[in-house]
Structure 1
């Protein structure tokens, strides 16, 4: 609509400009004939036209100064001050022109034309400045007030000078010849300046028509182009007349009034009508918004109707006001059967009171969203089917206040199958844990048995064989070659016995059964340091490690597996094994300064060593934590609870 109006105004302005220009050329070509006509009642006509121009200039001042409250930019400030000063000078020109009562003087025409030239130069330079600089910055209220005071002060000073000392100003009128050369030169300058302004405004029409100066003053540059062109034409007519009664004076005033009307239309009228245009535009936008809201409402209703999850809304009296088909289907009702019913209809009897209090507290605390029933171990949100059976619900609740009333909306789903699957999964997990613990126990028993067999049976046989070999070596009839062979066999038997003891110790260290956990860990520490050349430090008290056989075996295996991993992968130079114990907890830390473990390697499915350690700790209801930084080593932290009945003179840490 606005673009159409701009094109239409531009077309009308162009047509009017062309017609007026053609008419002016026709009048200029018939100068002798036109100049011979005299205007009847010139004083009244000229005064009326000048007064109309002054009123229009004052309107421009009012709009540019006050149309947007206390906000204004420098361009609108200059326009306001300039047109007010031009109106003041135009008013004095109208008083003095042709000897108005009280202003009859010999040089009245000179004074009148001086006022008139001052007014025209102000308007011309103002339009030229606006054409050259179309935008500006905001100014403060103090700056605006000072500018207005300075502009009016200079205008009053010029008026006083023209009234009191008109002879000091260049002559503008001669009683013998009419207009002076200074007057004609001023007219020519005004014509040139107005044509330049008109050209600039014409070039700015496509970019600036219907726009604002910094969102403050809206200007129509098509009308301002027309105004500058009319001012230029009027200046030509004002430069042609000799006496004030000639028709050219009237024609010049008419073109001047057309220019003032164009300025009024381009600055004042567009800003007066802007709020109404804005209202019309907003009304259209409001209708579009209403249509969009209706569409969104229909879309939202469709989403609620087709949602797979149940959606249910209740008011502050817990009456159901909205329910979607999915919710009704979950509870075993039809939608119409639930609307208007109490929420208690779908809540088991034993939960109704507690649930109501819970929802009220939720609303009073100001929380707008809360998720409920997501813990598989605590299904405290329970629904009630139409047939009386109960089922678990996973739900989220939100509240909204409308017109002082609070409404609650619940989005939920039936998780009966998920609960059953979770319970089965937990059961399978417990069974696997029990199986793992049983396998660990069986493996330890097998290790203990194999170690005992190796040590007691095979070890004794090898020892007896070595004793027999030693007796055989004492035979003096044996040759030297046989002695060397027997010596080699003795070394092989000694190596076999050492290897057998090491294997038996790895399977089940006798120190663990004979001396306890502390002695077994000391032996493991020394053997590890000797075998791998790694500085291994054990920080513990013997009293701290007095545990039952199950826990002693598990702790020993964890330390043994950790040291094995250090020897295989860590490339460490120092390992620290630290124990701390209080009345209820045994803490173990195994720390090395090796290359660490990459994050992805910790969760590899083939990391059976770590899996075994975790399973041993889980069987004792303990906690296992592994942390590692690449290049900075690995830390294993174990905490094992110690029931009071298992304590034997514990030493507090």
Structure 2
């Protein structure tokens, strides 16, 4: 697509001295049967021959921001903006020799009436010589809407990126609170319950030396020993649950083990929890990468595995992580139901949309398709710069 600007300073003073009567005579055989249609057309119509405008209707002149009299007989090079002159004349020369039809987008630089229109042209033989006959279509409104859509899309992407950053920061904060505050309180509670349980057992044994705990002494004391033991067990289970939630919010293993080992540990837990066989393989030499890139890849992996657990009804999952000098490729394929027909288009699938948006933030590519076992397949390719892992935000 070529961008052409009309010169705001063009006037008809420099028009080639050519009789308007001659022009009318030349065009008589063209205008007689079609004049009414051509003159009333909402599309601009023009004829270029020998580098000059041989005919333009009022609509085309209006699109150019010039009067019809200024364009008739004028050189194409005279009405073109000097910055676009070379490209325009090159295209004209190519077209007049019979080159394929292509459109030009002309953006008016007129301050009083900005806008743009596109022109199309076809080579013909006119009065025994090559000429270009074409039409112009005003696309000012369409371009305005397109630019608004592009701007809205850009703002939406910025909003999603910001939302992901806020969500990640909030996950970090909650993970810290769970790990440091709630985890610390539960650990203290566990020690207190342990001392209480030991104290009750000691008192209980004092009634019948040598007897087993909770089998001697008053019934109320025996019941208290059982309750303390159960509370201690529940506290331990709560600590483990908090640790698992904290790890899910902020995978601390990434800080210490790296991406490969973190994925391997997650897949082991996935297999135990859901009973789905998992095969994990890596190729290439693993290296540390930027922290945000690492987190982004991990979040896409998490979402893909969550989708498999919830929707795939798969019995087997194959995960591969390939390391190259300048990129990391993650592939996750299952033997389940596969994606729905509209899932590949990502319409109405917020999880898949989130994965695609994260891939865009990483300047990578996310492909959704069918795996070798007829299930779903997610492939992620991310360009990386290794050896620059950020220490910010680590637990």
Q: TM-score, normalized by length of structure 1?
A: 0.49
What displacement does 1:534 show? 0.9
Please give the alpha-carbon distance, in whole angstroms, between the structure 1 residues aligned to 2:387 and 2:257: 22
Change beyond 3 A, Cα 1:643–1:493: closer
1:497-576 equivalent positions in 2, closer than 5 A:
497-540=239-282, 543-576=285-318
Q: 1:98-142, CA deviations, whole angstroms, 9 ceiling, x for partnerless residues?
A: xxxxxxxxxxxxxxxxxxxxxxxxxxxxxxxxxxxxxxxxxxxxx
Change beyond 3 A, Cα 1:444–1:542: farther
The structure having more radius of gyration, on CA atoms, is 1
- The aligned counterpart of 2:99 is 367
- The aligned counterpart of 1:450 is 174
Please give the alpha-carbon distance, in whole angstroms, between the structure 2 residues aligned to 1:367 and 1:452: 66
Q: Check whether the contact 2:290–2:387 (CA below 8 A) recurs between aligned residues.
A: no
The alignment's C-alpha RMSD in Å is 3.0
Q: 1:350-369, CA deviations, whole angstroms, 9 ceiling, x for partnerless residues?
A: 322331222112332x3352
1:52-91 equivalent positions in 2, closer than 5 A:
none
**Which deviates further from its counterpart, 509-518 or 416-425?**
416-425
Q: 1:395-445, CA deviations, whole angstroms, 9 ceiling, x for partnerless residues?
A: 222111346411102322343444444334333322322222222122112
What displacement does 1:342 show? 1.9
1:577 aligns with 2:319: yes
Q: 1:3-59, CA deviations, whole angstroms, 9 ceiling, x for partnerless residues?
A: xxxxxxxxxxxxxxxxxxxxxxxxxxxxxxxxxxxxxxxxxxxxxxxxxxxxxxxxx
What displacement does 1:304 show? 2.2
1:306 aligns with 2:306: no
More helix by share: 1
1:342 aligns with 2:342: no
Q: Check whether the contact 1:370–1:398 (CA below 8 A) recurs between aligned residues.
A: no
Gaps of 5+ in 1: 1-293, 374-380, 648-653
SS at 1:311 equivalent: strand
- The aligned counterpart of 2:238 is 496
Please give the alpha-carbon distance, in whole angstroms, between the structure 1 residues aligned to 2:386 and 2:181: 40
Q: Check whether the contact 1:448–1:508 (CA below 8 A) recurs between aligned residues.
A: yes
Change beyond 3 A, Cα 1:611–1:443: same
More strand by share: 2
Q: How many residues align?
A: 344
- The aligned counterpart of 1:397 is 121
Gaps of 5+ in 2: 1-27, 205-220, 390-395
Q: TM-score, normalized by length of structure 2?
A: 0.78
- The aligned counterpart of 1:477 is 203
Please give the alpha-carbon distance, in whole angstroms, between the structure 1 residues aligned to 2:76 and 2:67: 15
Query: Comparing both chains, which one has the higher relative contact order based on Cα–Cα distances under 8 Å and sequence gaps of 6 or more?
Result: 2
Q: 1:297-348, CA deviations, whole angstroms, 9 ceiling, x for partnerless residues?
A: 8664433222222111111x12212212210111233434432222234321
- The aligned counterpart of 2:21 is none
